[in-house]
Structure 1
Amino acid sequence: MSAEPSIRERRQPTAQEFRDMQNSQEFGELRSKFRSFAFPMTIAFFVWYIAYVLIATFASEWMATPVFGSINIGLIFGLLQFVTTFVITYVYIVFANKNLEPRQSAIRKKMEG
């Protein structure tokens, strides 16, 4: 007696089917939708990070300005880098669940049956 649950076999698409899907309009729309989020968000974060590094380098006296206690502007900006990363991750998850996952599921169903 086997304790293994029965798993529905997925159809394995051929290499040609993968190439055809890669060239399809629906895959192009998925790729375009992903890029419309990823590229601007990457550029925005990179600009924010470079600004932080440049300010720390060329305005170190300003970054050393105490805000409260031994907490200074530079430390706050550094911590905001982490906050920004978590916010971008959260926003991406919401975006992907709403805009990418339905398209991905449709493609997967079409490819695997």
Structure 2
Amino acid sequence: MEEESVADREARAYQSVSEAEDFAQLKHRFKAFVLPWTIAFMAWYLLYVACNNWARDFMKTEVIGNVNVALVFGLLQFVSTFVIAALYGRYANRKLDPLAAGLNAKFKRERRR
């Protein structure tokens, strides 16, 4: 009888993990965070671009001294990027990492069989 190769064991282990309910839950939770935040960020970015193209008088409005609305919007693009990254980090630590750790352990167990 021929012994199962490492690649075959890993393929079987991956198949087992990918069919697990936790894997489906992990994908769902990931999409539930990423999709709305991606849409929100893209809408915010496109608003910035649209205002720079078609609302130039508004973007030239001075807020404080020589600081205008365009500069504030530009800086808020960076701020929003870091805020979303921080929110994702917290979300992943609470909702994704525990599931991923369990699936990783399952993969390792299945691979050894």
User: Is the shorter-chain TM-score for this pair beyond 0.5, marking a shared fold?
Assistant: yes
Q: 1 or 2, which has the higher helix percentage? A: 2
* C-alpha deviation, 1:24, in angstroms: 2.0
* C-alpha deviation, 1:20, in angstroms: 2.4
Name which of 48, 51, 57 aligns with 2:53: 57
Q: Secondary structure at the match of 1:14?
A: helix
1:98 aligns to what?
Answer: 94
After superposition, the CA RMSD in angstroms is 1.6
1:6 aligns to what?
Answer: none
Matched, 1:37 2:33: yes
1:1-113 to 2 correspondences below 5 Å: 14-113=10-109
Unpaired runs of at least 5, structure 2: 1-6
* C-alpha deviation, 1:23, in angstroms: 2.3
Q: Percent identity?
A: 37
Equivalent AA in structure 2 for residue 54 of structure 1: A
Unpaired runs of at least 5, structure 1: 1-11
Equivalent AA in structure 2 for residue 47 of structure 1: A
Q: What TM-score, normalized by structure 2, do the two folds share?
A: 0.86
Runs of 4+ in structure 1 off by over 4 angstroms are none
The size of the alignment, in residue pairs, is 103
